[in-house]
Structure 1
């Protein structure tokens, strides 16, 4: 399978596990089941797997860790599906985009933790998922250069 389809399977898996135990879950679950519709034998097991995984995430003391653990499983499932039925590609792209764009979906729905420490006279400039502008520090430095020059 080429890299593009692998990335698509990973994006789909991220969408599935991100939506588990959120308001996006029922819609996402329905979309995943629809991807597997032609495979009737597999569909019942898939629905059970989805429900069981969502329960694991909902009951986990660390839901993000549970989602991370399930990510590989869903990447494998979706990779196998794309190999069997490349026609699901467009639907999987829509699913991944819908979860990413939804309020509380994608990376916006995760809690990110960051610890930054400066020692002595150090300064920490840190940012997650955004831009950082440090005008104050630059202006102080420029004033120091001007007074020495």
Structure 2
């Protein structure tokens, strides 16, 4: 699955437990509206229902439930991008400008951990790591 979809699904569910949830919800619903989807109102209602589930999962320290809810949003986002490919750029913008800033540092890092991009040209090399990395070249 596209790393942006994974990060966005994780960020949506993480944002549900924040004080700025209303702004994050508006950003997610706006994504569907700008894509011209008739599902925008249904998405808004579903976000409200899922938020109750996320808050309950947090209260119960049920990480599995929270991961499952994030997975469901990843699938929903994948379907949107599949139907409206132009929404992929908008999704990345919403993730970077609206969702990630709404999260606390640990959740932001969990969502960002999957967003690694690199480009090399010519004989250049790219090394990426989500943790420690030691490169010894001779």
**TM-score range normalised by the length of the shorter chain:** 0.5 to 0.7
TM superposition score normalised by structure 2: 0.65
Equivalences for 1:60-139 in 2 at 5 Å?
60=57, 61-62=60-61, 64-98=63-97, 99-102=99-102, 104=104, 107-108=107-108
Q: Unaligned regions of 5+ residues in structure 1, if any?
A: 111-128, 132-149
Number of aligned residue pairs: 108
- Structure showing greater radius of gyration is 1
| Aligned counterparts of 1:57 and 1:12: Cα–Cα separation in 2 | 15
Structure 2: 5+ residue runs without aligned partners?
111-129, 133-138
Greater mean deviation of Cα atoms: 49-58 or 22-31: 22-31
Counterpart among 9, 12, 19 of residue 23 in structure 1: 19
Distance in structure 1 (CA, Å) of the matches to 2:24 and 2:103: 14
Q: What do the CA deviations read for 1:71-124 (whole angstroms, capped 9, x no partner)?
A: 1111110011111112212221122223334461563587xxxxxxxxxxxxxx
The Cα RMSD (Å) is 2.5
Do 1:18 and 1:106's aligned partners in 2 also have CA atoms closer than 8 Å?
no
